[in-house]
Amino acid sequence: MATVSMTVNGKAVTADIDSRTLLVQFIRENQLLTGTHVGCDTSQCGACVVHIDGKAVKSCTTLALQCQGANVVTIEGIAAADGTLHPMQEAFREHHGLQCGFCTPGMIMSAIDIVNRKGNDLDEHTIREELEGNICRCTGYHNIVRAVDAGAKAMAGSAKPMKHAAE
């Protein structure tokens, strides 16, 4: 057993874990935060994306011990304390960027990371290219792309329409 301490969604946590415990297991089983999903266990689908020290990471291939002292944010940690949805969550709701919802937490966490890295003025090609590490088996991505664009604009307080790749 090993002891790990980190901050999860603003709360300091410490636990004794097996040294082989994956971060996704730690989040779901130790912290009981089940919004982070296990889809493939090979970092192919993106359902397990969380933010570690502000960067999107696939938690199914990250050991919990690698997060010693880190700040981890899950889908449960992005809404405001009063329950107001994060602008990206609201955009996914508003633009129906989900169907079954299994991939949605990872998509939203990845989308926030895209905006943090690329800015709020994204074109369709950039959004699609940046989401390549996230798989959705239901939607065909059209509404997800629209939701990411709207969420990016909302994060900036802007409402300009998306620039399409052909423009």
For 88-129, the pLDDT digits (tens) are 999 999 999 988 999 999 999 999 999 999 999 999 999 999
Q: Other C-beta atoms within 10 Å of 42: how many?
A: 9
State the Cα–Cα distance between residues 1 and 17, nearest whole angstrom: 5
How many other CB atoms sit within 10 Å of the CB of residue 162? 19
C-alpha span between 60 and 8 (Å, rounded): 16
* CA–CA separation, 23 and 42 (whole Å): 13
The answer to whether the pTM exceeds 0.75 is yes
Tell me what pLDDT residue 42 has: 82
Over residues 26-80, the pLDDT tens digits come to 999 999 999 999 988 788 899 999 999 999 999 999 999 999 999 999 999 999 9
- On the question of pLDDT at 151 being above 60, the answer is yes
Q: What is the pLDDT of residue 28?
A: 98
What pLDDT, on the 0 to 100 scale, is given for residue 165? 43
Is the pLDDT at 162 greater than 70? The verdict is no
Backbone torsions φ then ψ of 35, nearest 5 degrees:
-70, -25
Query: What are the structural domains, with CATH classification, of the chain?
Result: 2-77 (3.10.20.30), 87-156 (1.10.150.120)
Please give the torsion angle defined by the CA atoms of residues 160, 162, 166 and 167, in that order, rounded to the nearest 10 degrees. 10
Handedness of CA 23, 29, 32, 36 (dihedral sign): positive
Phi-psi domain of 96 (left: phi exceeds 0; alpha: psi -120 through 50; beta: other): left
With 60 as the cut, is the pLDDT of residue 139 above it? yes
Q: Is the pLDDT of residue 84 over 90?
A: yes
pLDDT of 163 above 70: no
pLDDT score at 106: 96
State the DSSP H helix or E strand holding residue 56, giving kind and residue range, or none if neither.
strand 55-58
pLDDT at 41 (0 to 100)? 75
Mean pLDDT of 128-139: 91
The CA-atom distances, in angstroms, between 110 and each of 20, 68, 69, 75 are 25, 22, 22, 10
Q: Say yes or no to pLDDT of 167 above 70.
A: no
